[in-house]
Amino acid sequence: MIKKIIFIICYWLIAINNTSGQSITLDNCLDMAKQNYPLIKQYTLIEKTKEYSIANAQKGVLPQFNIAGQATYQSDVTKVPISLPNLEIPTISKDQYRLYGEVSQSITDLFTVKDQIEYINTNSEIETQKTKVQLYNLRERINNLFFGILMIDAQIQQTELLKKDIQSGIEKTNIAIANGVALKSTADNLKAEFLKANQRTIELKATRKGYADMLALFIGNPIDENTVLEKPHRQMFTNTINRPELRMFDLQKKSFDVQNKLIAAKNLPRVSVFFQGGLGRPALNMLNPEFAGYYIGGLRLNWNITSFYTYKNEKKILANNQSFIDIQKETFLFNTNLTLKQQNADITKMQELIETDKSIVTLRESVKNTTQNQLQYGTATTNDYLIAVNAQDQAKQSLILHEIQLLMTEYNAQTTAGN
């Protein structure tokens, strides 16, 4: 127990250091989100409920104790319709009393309690698996926030590069002005564009803070502007489905199998041994009018055959419920495969777009560099340069967008498949 507590403390210290210090990975975020999400508390409640239910089921095989009593008055009593000389036959009193205790031990329950415990365990596993399904749905939300921040970080970096290009253009223009081949006012256009790039940086940082605050709320640890989100590696795409919902469907079907056993057990004869002892007037000897103790023991058989009235229908209801689960599973697999096919198509599209983006960036960069050199000698205007710079910026922005979208789609596809 102490080792477990030390491990948890160390885990959270490492997590806090990662978020407030240098870097954090997507896997870190997913792990911390699971631990921080309020739903995680259900695991403890489910386990406790299972323990209490099993304890109660096991107590069902313990001897049952019963104390009862009665006092009655009846209009007539049994009489011996004969008389013998010198012999007085006692008359039973019309007011009668009995107080007794009984202990009984069910024999049938000794063989059926294991089915009850199996049913409790299966239901507990189903509830646990439902919680896992709900927690698993966190993955896509965390993915979207994480990759959203990565996208903004990349855009901020690209904006900084854009500002460097504009600043370089300003410097080239200043040289042209000094050489008398450009007017002094020509640099103002570039300076205004530089300020617009600054505004974009401010907007992007504000948007990043909103994303970071939401992600920090999920993982339970702060994320600031100094926290670096590590870009994940590319994922190998697979269509194999390992979602926790499949395990839940299997457990639900198993539950119906156990219920079939319980229905059969409900229709068994109830056999038990018992011992009863008490005080009564009369006791077992009906001709003794005095209070006397007594005891009796033996086997007891009780068979409620009316339960067979509903036996077949109960079995049919379970069969229908199993078929319903099969349909749910089939529908889930159909929809999941449909989503995977769409995501696979998106991945292929993104890969093709990225290759085209790279070619466009190379061409736009060449045009920008040529225009930048011309700017210095006054053979190109600042408008020509800004057009080239903005075209290159747009090409790089598209490349950044498609690269992050490709990563996010791959990870979402892995989440969809459950891998």
pLDDT tens sequence across 134-160: 999 888 899 999 999 999 999 999 999
For residues 29 and 146, what is the distance between their CA atoms, to the nearest angstrom? Answer: 8
Gyration radius from the chain CA atoms: 41
* Residue 159 contacts residue 197 (beta carbons within 8 Å): yes
Average pLDDT over residues 256-273: 88
Is position 121 within any domain?
Answer: yes
pLDDT band at 3 (very low <50, low <70, confident <90, very high): very low
- Range with the largest mean pLDDT of 71-85, 121-135, 371-385: 121-135
Q: For the chain, how are helix, strand and coil distributed in percent, rounded to 5? A: 70, 10, 20
Give per-residue pLDDT as tens, 289-323. 888 999 999 999 988 888 788 888 988 999 999 99
Say if strands 270-281 and 23-24 run parallel, antiparallel, or are unpaired. Answer: unpaired
**Domain at 196, CATH number:** 1.20.1600.10
Is position 147 within any domain?
Answer: yes
For residues 216 and 153, what is the distance between their CA atoms, to the nearest angstrom? Answer: 16
> Is a pLDDT exceeding 90 seen at residue 284?
no
> Is a pLDDT exceeding 60 seen at residue 16?
no
> Is a pLDDT exceeding 60 seen at residue 30?
yes
Distances (CA, A) of 77 to 249, 265, 317: 65, 43, 53
> Is a pLDDT exceeding 80 seen at residue 356?
yes
412 is written with which tokens? Answer: 């979402």
Share of the chain above pLDDT 90, in %: 44
- Range with the largest mean pLDDT of 14-23, 237-246, 338-347: 338-347
Nearest Cα neighbor of 104 from 284, 300, 326, 269 is: 300
Burial of 169 (0-12, 13-18, 19+ CB in 10 A): buried
**How far from each other are the two terminal CA atoms of the chain, in whole angstroms?**
32
Instruction: Give the three-class secondary structure for 419.
Output: coil
Nearest Cα neighbor of 287 from 89, 45, 145, 48 is: 89
Is position 284 within any domain?
Answer: no
Instruction: Give the three-class secondary structure for 60.
Output: coil
Average pLDDT over residues 156-179: 86
Average pLDDT over residues 175-192: 78
Give per-residue pLDDT as tens, 91-107. 788 889 999 999 998 88
Task: Tell me what pLDDT residue 177 has.
Answer: 79
Average pLDDT over residues 22-30: 87
pLDDT mean across residues, the chain: 86
- Length of the chain in residues, anyone? 419
Average pLDDT over residues 403-415: 91
Secondary structure in 3-state letters for 240-300: CCCCHHHHHHHHHHHHHHHHHHHHHHHCCCEEEEEEEEEEEECCCCCCCCCCEEEEEEEEE
Average pLDDT over residues 36-65: 88
Is position 283 within any domain?
Answer: no
Is position 105 within any domain?
Answer: no
What is the extent of the structural domain holding 403? 2-59+110-269+305-417
Is position 276 within any domain?
Answer: no
Average pLDDT over residues 326-348: 94
Is position 181 within any domain?
Answer: yes
Nearest Cα neighbor of 161 from 353, 367, 368 is: 368
Structural domain tally of the chain?
Answer: 1
Is position 66 within any domain?
Answer: no
For residues 221 and 217, what is the distance between their CA atoms, to the nearest angstrom? Answer: 7
